[in-house]
Structures are given as C-alpha cells and as structure tokens.
Structure 1
Amino acid sequence: MSLHKIILDCDPGHDDAMAILLALGTPTIELLAITTVVGNQTLEKVTHNAQAILELVGAKQIPIAAGCPRPLVRAIQNAAEVHGISGLDGTHLPEPTMPLDKRHAVDLIIDTLKAHPPKTVTLVPIGGLTNIALTVRKAPEIVELVKEVVLMGGGYHTGNQSAVAEFNIAIDPEAAHIVFNEKWPITMIGLDLTHQAKPNDQIMTDIANLKTPISQFVIESLNYYTEGYRKRNGYSDHAPVHDPCAVAYVINPSLIETRIAPVNIELQGTLTTGMTVTDFRATPAENCHTQVAIKLDNPQLWAMFIDALKYLDK
C-alpha cells in the first residue's frame, strides 16, 4: 500500500475537524503531525480542539504543536460567527489528556520534513498560511523537500470574507503571498470547488446510522455548521464543508478536476486585498507551479468520508 505522508496545518473549526477525521480514517494517509494556527478561533482554542479530536479518535500518538497566535502583519480576525466561541460550538468532545509537542509548529514542520526523504511529504494547510510562510522564511531549503502544497483557501471567482477574498487568505494575505510565490507545486482548493462539497439528507442519515461517538460528533458538527449557514445566507441547503476537500485531493486526485494557472495574492487593493488573482487568459508557462481546483465528484467525496468514519470505528 502506497502511503501519502502529510502534515496538516489547521485551525479547528468544524470543517477542519472533518478533514482531520478523513486523514485519520484513510489507511493510505500517514498523518505525520498536526500544527495549529490562529484563524477560526484563537490559537489556544483551536489547539485545544485539535487535541480533543485526537482524544476522541484515540490517536494520541500524533504530535500536535501550536504555531502562530496572530498574522504576520495584520490584526487578528476570527470566524466566531461561523464556528462559535469555542471554535467547535454545538459539539461534545472529551477533554484532551495528550501533551502538546514542546516545539513551535514551525520547528515541528521543519524537523518532520527533514526526517523524511525529499519529495515524500505533502503540506496540507487548511487555515491561514502564517505558519507555512514563517517555516519557509526560517528554512528556505524546505521548498526542495516538500512534495506538494495542497491548501484550502482562495477562490478564482468566489470570495466569502469579501466579494473576492476567501477567509483563510484574507486573514493573512502577506503570509499567502510568501507561500504562493515559492516555487513548490501548489494546488489551491478554493471556494469555487469547496462550495460543491455539500452533504444531503441521505448522507446525513448514513452518517447518523453509524451510531458511534465519532459519527455523533460529525452530526453535531454538521448540524451546527449548517444552521449557521442557513441563518447567515438565507438558504435551506446543507452547508459546504471546505477543508476535507484538500485531504481528499491528496488521497485521490481524480476526485477533483484542476487547471494549471498562475495565482498571486492582492495585498493593496481597497476592495480586493486577499484576492487570489488567477490568470486564465492564456496557456500557462511550462514552469507554472500553481493549479486551481475546478470540479468535484461530490458523491465520491462523501463515500470516502463515510468509509473513513467506518475505519475509525474498527
């Protein structure tokens, strides 16, 4: 069995929790480490949430390190209106007993990359990119060690923090600028793709019918998340679940159609700061290192996710 080794950099967050469960429940994924960054809630809260998720699953052997408590330059923004005061409101999780890794997240990422052969570890950032930007500034040699960066963030047409900027990019656009301008392969799993990642009533029933503590946590998470989306956005559909899409791409890239295109980050626009400016005008140069996700096989995504939940119950 060929393993995909990943480092998951996250800010749990209901959909981050789903991404963690998908990674832990997929036998072809080797989750080497989890690092946390300020985003959906404060660093302290999202780190606690990551620990509690591993406690729930019984995966206490995976190192977790806390990272940056604020963006590189800008004031802290969070998504309490989406994820609540705790970052995982509406759910019930055990208190974590596992200790944090004593290293800063940046150092855990560097050490983990250097402990494995070059081009065998994929970075999967699904929050703001502050940790990843500081990692590459502290140890620029890691660019040649990373297999790929598969990130949840941005959008080539769609924004949510503003008309054109997505939350993970908008909260630290300077960090995103650093990450996107390094010459490692980047796959941007943005809102244009993740808005296709919605469960339906049957999928919710299938998850509930697993009748495990983990599936109950998932139902609590998705119900809270969807209720908030419906109140804010005024629609009756289930809420899109963004972050698992990045992990799903690593597991099986055929689930997601991508297109190679240059991407850069707007830093100074009065109305457009944080925009992931994607240039579809012409055939990209042969050395273009960025691609964007376009189309999702949503039924297969949820089949994969439910299989992961079943695996975690073994």
Structure 2
Amino acid sequence: MDSMTDHEDSSRGAPAAGEDQLAPILLDMDTGVDDALAIGLLMAYAPERLVAVIATYGNVTQSVAQRNTRDVLDLLGGGSIPVFDGCRCPSWADGFVADRACAHFHGDNGLADLHVQDYMPAPARHDGAPSVRGGGAVYDFSASDIDFTVAGTMNAGALGADTRHRTAKTPVSSWTDEPAATQSAEPEYLKSMTPPIISVGGYLPKLPDLSSAPLRGRNLLSTLTEEYGPVEMAVRPADTAGVRAIIEAVRRWGKNLTVVCTGPLTDVAAAMIEAPDIIPDLRLVIMGGALTQQGNCFDTVSETNILQDPEAADLVCRSLADITMVGLDVTHRCLLGRETAEHWANSGVVGRFFTDLSYFMITANEESDPMFASGAPMHDPLAVAAAIDPSLIRVFDVALRVDTATGNREGVRGRTIGDGSRLNDPSAPRCHVALDVDVPRFLDMLDRGIPALSQRLA
C-alpha cells in the first residue's frame, strides 16, 4: 500500500465520505477565533451531526471558552446543543492562564474582542427543544445514566474580574515573538517547584524577583492574576462533565462517533485514563502537531495545542485509538484571504460576524509572519472539514510520539515525531498524519458554507 493514502482508505473502521451522513460528531475545543469558524462550518454542512461541544482551556481559560462556545452556538441556531466543561489546565499543572500571544491572535475575550450579542438576529433560544433553528442535533444523551443537563459552569478557583469586551479592536501591532512566560515546563524542573504550578500557555510564568520573600498559594495566584489575567485552578478531570461526555459518547456510538479536538488533548487523555475500555472504539481527529515543517510556538518546533500538554498528547498518540492528525503540515496551506471573508458580510448578520472575526485573525497573522501575507491559516476549520469529508486530506501512517522533555537526547518538548522504538513494529498503532490537502475544495467548502448558513438563519 502507498505510504500516502486517501484518508478514508487508511482509517481503521472509519466510514467513507458520504457513507453515514448522520454519524455523530463531538467537538472538544478551546473556543477562540478559528474554533468559532470551525463551529460555523459544521453548522453549515452537518448541524444534525453535532451532539455536543466540550469547552477546554488553551486560547483562553476554560470558563471563557465555555461562554464563547455557548454564545456562538446561540448565534448559529444551536441553542439546544449542550456545552460541557472540560479540563481547566494541563495534566502537569495546578492552574492555567492564557498567554499574551493568544490574545494577539484571538483577542482578549477569545472572539476578536467582538460581543456576540451585537450580532444576534433574534433572542437566543434556551428552551431545550430537540431541534434547533436551521437544523440541529438529532441525538441527545437522555438515555444516559449521567446527568448531562449540568453544563458545569462553576467558576470556583478563578481569580480576577470577568472582563467582557463589547467593542472590536485592532490587534496590537507591537506584538513580538517574546513569550510572556519563558521557562518551558520541563519535567525535572517541575519536580523542584512548590505548588501551585501554573501554566501560562504551556510555559511556566515569568515572575517578579522572588528573592526577598517567596510567593506561594493565594499570594502567588494574585501576582499571576495581576501580571497575566484571571487564573483558573484545576478540578479532578474525572469530575468534569466533558470528560464524562467523551466516555459516555464512545460507549454509546463506538466508532460511528468522531471526536474532533481543536485544543489541547487533556480531556481525551483523561477519558482514556478514567475508562480504558473506550480506547479501541475511539475515533479521533485532532488539530495539532507538525511533522514536516516548523512549529508555531516560540521554539519554532512545537505546535501550540500539543505544547500545552505534551504528556497528554503523548499518551493519546501512543494509544490504540484511531487518530488522524491534522497539523500545520496542511493547515498552513489553507489560507483564508480578505476577499473571501469580505463577501460573507453581504449574506446577513451571521456572515458579518464571521467577516469581522476573520479580519481580526487575518490581520494578526499578517503581523506575525510574512508567510501569512495572503491570508490566515484555517487550523480548526480544516480539522472539522476533514471529519465531515475525510477525502479532503491524504495521510501518512506512522507510529507517532510526542517529546515531553528538551535536550539530553530527549528531543524538544511538544514535538510530534516518529517513534524510533516502534517504527519497525508492524503491530504498533499508527496515527494518520495529514500531509496533503485539496486546498481549492476546502476553501470552496468554507466560502460557500458560511454565507449559506447566514442566509438560512436570516
């Protein structure tokens, strides 16, 4: 068999494109700008397949991601689709705060500093109806023993004011490639630290001089809040509704379900640890990683979602789950330009929302790297598109690992690379890594889908 194959030929047990149009999809995302666009793409083409969304940390804190997800779904007629709380921080930390680079690309509120309510064509629906405006989830979790009516919006442990920006603002042009936090979360270094350990976008915080008096506990959290913004502290992963939702959904639908992760893999790893029986039946599409080109983190090797929690990503990639990695190898080829986004505004208020959202993203990417002078990479939308239509991508099957430490023959923390210890083992699990994509067909799918959704909701 060729090393590069069409995705539907190499996926273990995955239905081919068009084979089962009602196969359920469960999203797990750190809802920022491109996550919102990914939701829009799914609601445009297959709203009946979206059974739930899990909101996790990453681009923003978990509680902000949950609010953003709910707002976007309400705007798109998905008021009855449940949104569950995911993990609040990576597996190696006790808490999380978003870094400043994320604010450059996603805005302080994660949605380009737009206020979604300004785009609402009608009052949002919260009546729990089984169908939603413009088509919606036909599946529900009502037969489950788990109480999925609780969205888990408790904010205990979050420090700092809840700021909600109601006006759009231009990205700060003075942003530079200087991390707000400079110390990588190396395992050996973590062992020497006194809890709580806080992740700042996958890094350890750059704190003021602590020589006079060490900062611990709440004093440390207060200092971080002043420096970086609200800090959200961990709860036990098994206690989050999102981790339980993954377990219950896989047990219910098996390989007919596709879990699409566009943020860190902490939720999925937690579900695997809590319920190992789901692993052989778990079909997963992840946006993350890079195999053939440089990363988009400050080390230029790692990809952001993977670097947030390399330990979780490594556990997932080495598992027996059916995993498709949609990484920078293909997303950097799918660029959304201003001309495409501009004409969405003529399709209605929802189209204007996505135009405004995209302009922010396009400007931020233009400022960050010359390679994005013609448009912004469609990271999360491509992962969702590949879940809807696997024939969009061609994949290379490889025994994949994630480096969890840097140097000393360990690699680079967060790097996704072939696992030399398993490459020649024919029985070792293989990840399907996307290395080629039908760019024109994907961009046409995006270009047609957003205005069609907007017109349907007008």
2:27 alignment counterpart: 8
CA distance in 2, matches of 1:288, 1:107: 25
Aligned partner of 2:287 among 132, 152, 163: 152
1:32 alignment counterpart: 51
User: Deviations along 1:121-144, whole A, 9 cap, x unmatched?
Assistant: 011111001111111111111113
CA distance in 2, matches of 1:300, 1:239: 17
Pair 1:83 & 2:106 matched: yes
- TM-score with structure 2 setting the length: 0.63
2:444 alignment counterpart: 303
Q: Do the aligned partners of residues 204 and 284 (structure 1) sit closer, same or farther apart at CA in structure 2, a change above 3 Å counting?
A: farther
2:151 alignment counterpart: 101
Q: Give SS of 2:320's match.
A: coil
Query: Is residue 90–residue 220 contact of structure 1 (8 Å, CA) maintained in 2?
Result: no
Pair 1:275 & 2:415 matched: yes
Query: Is residue 4–residue 251 contact of structure 1 (8 Å, CA) maintained in 2?
Result: no
CA distance in 2, matches of 1:264, 1:282: 10
2:327 alignment counterpart: 190
Aligned partner of 2:426 among 285, 288, 293: 285
1:43 alignment counterpart: 62
1:23 alignment counterpart: 42
Structure 2 unaligned blocks of 5 or more: 1-19, 119-123, 127-148, 153-239
CA distance in 2, matches of 1:305, 1:29: 18
User: Deviations along 1:75-120, whole A, 9 cap, x unmatched?
Assistant: 635322321210112433028774862462111222222233x211
CA distance in 1, matches of 2:343, 2:25: 28
Query: Is residue 288–residue 304 contact of structure 2 (8 Å, CA) maintained in 1?
Result: yes
1:128 alignment counterpart: 264
CA distance in 1, matches of 2:325, 2:391: 15
1:145-224 equivalence runs, <5 A? 145-146=281-282, 148-156=283-291, 157-161=293-297, 162-210=299-347, 212-224=348-360
Query: Is residue 337–residue 362 contact of structure 2 (8 Å, CA) maintained in 1?
Result: no
Q: Which of the pair has more CA radius of gyration?
A: 2
Query: Is residue 64–residue 100 contact of structure 1 (8 Å, CA) maintained in 2?
Result: no
CA distance in 1, matches of 2:362, 2:441: 21
Percent identity, aligned pairs only? 30
CA distance in 2, matches of 1:307, 1:241: 15
Q: Give SS of 1:76's match.
A: strand
Alpha-carbon shift at residue 308 of structure 1 (Å): 2.7
Query: Is residue 257–residue 294 contact of structure 1 (8 Å, CA) maintained in 2?
Result: yes
| Alignment RMSD (CA, Å) | 2.4
CA distance in 2, matches of 1:250, 1:306: 18
Q: Which range moves more in the overlay, 51-60 or 298-307? A: 298-307
Letter in 2 for 1:18: L
Alpha-carbon shift at residue 312 of structure 1 (Å): 5.2
- TM-score with structure 1 setting the length: 0.91
